[in-house]
Structure 1
């Protein structure tokens, strides 16, 4: 299952994109550039607004079901007026756009629309009860009021939560612009009115013609600076704002940006008829053609997280006795810590600490010696560690990474920063390498059940693994995840080839 590295080695440095693109900035002083980068605001722990909208709708649906069951239990005669009210109130909440999450809408506006939507549903329900069944009107009236109060209470909670998250910058996606152009200025001005996204900064290789700030947004350097920027994992999207008819320029920028894991889009001129197509995305009222990657499906994000929490919790509870025995064996087998934390690349290439049971002898000197991949019959592996590696039981603690949200049960296995195939950086061998970071890394994955496990020793093996990882991302759904999980154990036990 894992891509084995020495547990005692230091990770190699990331790709040196500066050498490829150049990092000299002539139009902006080095001191000003450093100040711009230091002041660039990249809020972390952001919340996907589309996914949040689905959560609110699901919560309201559950609340409506509880209200209906309560009405049935209290007085079966009032089921129809209560059901009518819930349908009307739900329709009103949708009609008044209460499920459109916008960080710019003040809480009082949401509350006012909620009161109107729920109130109109209640009035129409009581009027219908008075006309068609006056006998149930008294009971239906107080049940409708109670149900309406419950729904309104939820809307108040939503409004307060949205307000707090908006102030913290957690509802605005982090965007960087490539190209200090007039089109970029128009997009920044449009976003200043809506504040739908957080435009972190501008990158442009044409340093001499790039201002230190464009419409208040700081210039942060060249494309090489972007690739090596420490805040890059917090960027959600890259937007190219050069002229759409500059085909050669767009191709050159896309070639340079394609190794990055973030989705890339091309901003189109205002009024472009093509912007109405289903393949286009809108950022701050500017049409944007998707060039690389695909927008995350909010429904799938919710299902994926529920899958990880539900199945992951059951697996973690079931594995606790096994992990307790393993911890004791590791402690008795050789001196050193029971658990080992390895730095791996997570979603968007963000560094995460992946947990494992220690399977090698602990050596301080080894930690300073650099990366060394595990070999067959490696003398560093302990007797217990050999069994743990052969069965992949050393990776059981990664269930905790799954529950924390750093990993998923299924996805591309997490690789080390600067991982090498032979003497070459793996990311330099495969153009689509960074695309595997567009989802969370997994405890198991499509590549692993197809035999691609362990260290990568040839360019062909690296390309095969990345191809399988990218194929998983394109096909990902609940049933595919379950199928991969079911295939993991037979694939693991039947593997006698890969070094682990």
Structure 2
């Protein structure tokens, strides 16, 4: 089944009575009926075009090196005294192919959908590359050291396999496109002529992968009609925040002029907490910057305002890091976890594990596992009351495992098997947690921005002493500040540093852990 078009829903409504969608569980905001229907639709997980383009580059490199190496092994190996020219030529041709194909724009997702055009460019690029190699052999006077049969076979075999590979890529990309797995779900902020012109300009571009879900605008007068270029106005900016979470939007584009600074900042203040890309359209702007100042959606210029953190290849790297290191940690710590489980069972009645609902990525509810540290009959699943010093609800074993954070170790199962936690990230907070009897989001402006990435077992805040009880507004404020620093400065090396530092911080910075 292909991706939906919101305009088809409008046509269906005009043909018969509209059926209001059912809000998802936990939704508290009443939407425009059409917004409810869109939000109720199942959302397929999309794939990053950057990731696919990278995989195609890798496939090209492997094909070239593989063909050159295979023909060398079959025809040349053992028959020449000096294999160095071959050993140098094969990787250089592979790197040259990547550079040539990049110059010919053969890695853009749009090019991958058109096999005929792509094939012509590959033939041209591959041929020019071999002509340059022949010229290099001539000027370096090493032509007699390289087999002509090997070179001709390399050219023909490499070209044939590259075309076969690209044909397979085209078929895969076209299928993913039909399934809606390559689209970027997009909302436009700002109706009126500017919004209409932007939508028309975007629709005139080929292969952008954008799927406009609707228009949002705080204005309710003639400047913002209910229908913009065929797309409905689905609500205000406050509606967009909840809509973006429920429909997993990828991109928001503002059509407001930079001169509307106050209005723009007010809207951005509400949207920056979302794990999405935010762009400001420069299509109709009279203020012009240098071309390098813009990014482009097709040929439509936009200014980058916010980028989704940990995206594209970063997601893959962090996922591999979590799975590999998490599995190793689970194996190494299994004796300690077994001993803890036995101690809990002997110390008090009740289950060994404690399950609690917490906020995960994009404010989604996840179930986090911990070793039970409270008496079972006093368990606080809603975290209505934080554990304090000498809390009578805490068992004897519980006091020790909370102080040392051993109670958190079962969350390795969340990391390795469920995938809803990372090893490193902002700690997931209980859904009803408070500081000074106020919800965290009421205490800290932009609190939900910490949910732009997957939460973690440990984090930057924890190794800097901000772990345990958050009974004051200052404590939760400082924790969130550290979480946001981590999000903005993430790297694999930072994750590794935090993991290495965590055991030491447990020993030296545990004054708030009860």
Question: Residues of 2 paired with 1:213 and 1:309: CA distance?
Answer: 47
Q: Which residue of 2 aligns with 1:443?
A: 457
Report deviation, 1:174.
Answer: 2.4
Q: Does 1:413 align with 2:412?
A: no
Question: Residues of 2 paired with 1:229 and 1:408: CA distance?
Answer: 26
CA contact (8 A) 1:412 1:445 kept: yes
Structure 1 unaligned segments of length 5 or more: list them. 1-12, 24-29
**Of 123, 142, 145, which aligns to 2:153?**
142
Question: Residues of 2 paired with 1:150 and 1:337: CA distance?
Answer: 58
Q: CA RMSD in A?
A: 3.8
Q: Which residue of 2 aligns with 1:392?
A: 405
Question: Residues of 2 paired with 1:458 and 1:233: CA distance?
Answer: 35
Q: Which residue of 1 aligns with 2:172?
A: 161
Q: Does 1:35 align with 2:43?
A: no
Query: In the TM superposition, what whole-angstrom CA distance separates every residue of 1:314-364 from its partner, at most 9, and x where no partner exists?
Result: 323333444444445555555555444433333333333333333334459
Report deviation, 1:423.
Answer: 1.8
| Matched ranges for 1:4-15 at <5 A | none
Query: In the TM superposition, what whole-angstrom CA distance separates every residue of 1:4-34 from its partner, at most 9, and x where no partner exists?
Result: xxxxxxxxx9898x7xxxx7xxxxxx8xx22
If the length of structure 2 is used for normalisation, what is the TM-score? 0.78
Question: Residues of 2 paired with 1:217 and 1:104: CA distance?
Answer: 29
Q: Which residue of 1 aligns with 2:97?
A: 89
Question: Residues of 2 paired with 1:438 and 1:198: CA distance?
Answer: 22
CA contact (8 A) 1:46 1:169 kept: yes
Q: Does 1:482 align with 2:490?
A: no
Secondary structure of the 1:315 match is: helix
**Of 177, 187, 191, which aligns to 1:180?**
191
Structure 2 CA distance for partners of 1:192 and 1:332, relative to 1, 3 Å = farther
Q: Does 1:381 align with 2:394?
A: yes
Structure 2 CA distance for partners of 1:202 and 1:362, relative to 1, 3 Å = farther
Q: Which entry has the higher C-alpha Rg, 1 or 2? A: 2
Q: Does 1:372 align with 2:385?
A: yes
Of the structure 1 ranges 419-428 and 342-351, higher mean CA displacement relative to structure 2 is found in 342-351
Q: Which residue of 1 aligns with 2:448?
A: 434
CA contact (8 A) 1:15 1:418 kept: no
| Matched ranges for 1:218-297 at <5 A | 218-229=232-243, 231-232=245-246, 234-258=248-272, 260=274, 262-270=276-284, 272=286, 274-276=288-290, 280-283=294-297, 285-292=299-306
Q: Does 1:196 align with 2:196?
A: no
Report deviation, 1:267.
Answer: 2.2
Report deviation, 1:476.
Answer: 2.3
Q: Which residue of 1 aligns with 2:415?
A: 402
Question: Residues of 1 paired with 2:302 and 2:309: CA distance?
Answer: 12
Secondary structure of the 2:181 match is: coil
Question: Residues of 2 paired with 1:234 and 1:103: CA distance?
Answer: 27
Q: Does 1:100 align with 2:111?
A: no
CA contact (8 A) 1:181 1:242 kept: no
Secondary structure of the 1:50 match is: helix
Q: Which residue of 2 aligns with 1:492?
A: 506
Report deviation, 1:121.
Answer: 4.0
Structure 2 unaligned segments of length 5 or more: list them. 1-24, 78-82
Report deviation, 1:207.
Answer: 3.5
Q: Does 1:56 align with 2:56?
A: yes
Report deviation, 1:461.
Answer: 1.0
**How many residues of Structure 1 are paired with residues of Structure 2 in the alignment?**
474
Query: In the TM superposition, what whole-angstrom CA distance separates every residue of 1:20-74 from its partner, at most 9, and x where no partner exists?
Result: xxx7xxxxxx8xx223421356744222222433343345445555556556655
CA contact (8 A) 1:452 1:465 kept: yes
Question: Residues of 2 paired with 1:226 and 1:237: CA distance?
Answer: 12
Question: Residues of 2 paired with 1:357 and 1:66: CA distance?
Answer: 51
Question: Residues of 2 paired with 1:82 and 1:370: CA distance?
Answer: 62
| Matched ranges for 1:125-136 at <5 A | 132-133=143-144, 136=147
Structure 2 CA distance for partners of 1:118 and 1:299, relative to 1, 3 Å = same
**Of 337, 362, 381, which aligns to 1:348?**
362
Structure 2 CA distance for partners of 1:401 and 1:273, relative to 1, 3 Å = farther
Report deviation, 1:485.
Answer: 1.7
CA contact (8 A) 2:275 2:308 kept: no
- After TM superposition, the runs of 4+ consecutive aligned structure 1 residues lying more than 6 A away are 13-16, 126-131
Query: In the TM superposition, what whole-angstrom CA distance separates every residue of 1:80-138 from its partner, at most 9, and x where no partner exists?
Result: 55345424432332122222224993455445544554455457657987992386122
Report deviation, 1:381.
Answer: 3.4
Question: Residues of 1 paired with 2:134 and 2:238: CA distance?
Answer: 65
The one of the two structures with greater contact order (alpha-carbon pairs below 8 A, sep at least 6) is 1
Question: Residues of 2 paired with 1:154 and 1:311: CA distance?
Answer: 33
Structure 2 CA distance for partners of 1:371 and 1:59, relative to 1, 3 Å = farther
Structure 2 CA distance for partners of 1:110 and 1:458, relative to 1, 3 Å = farther
If the length of structure 1 is used for normalisation, what is the TM-score? 0.80
CA contact (8 A) 1:261 1:438 kept: yes
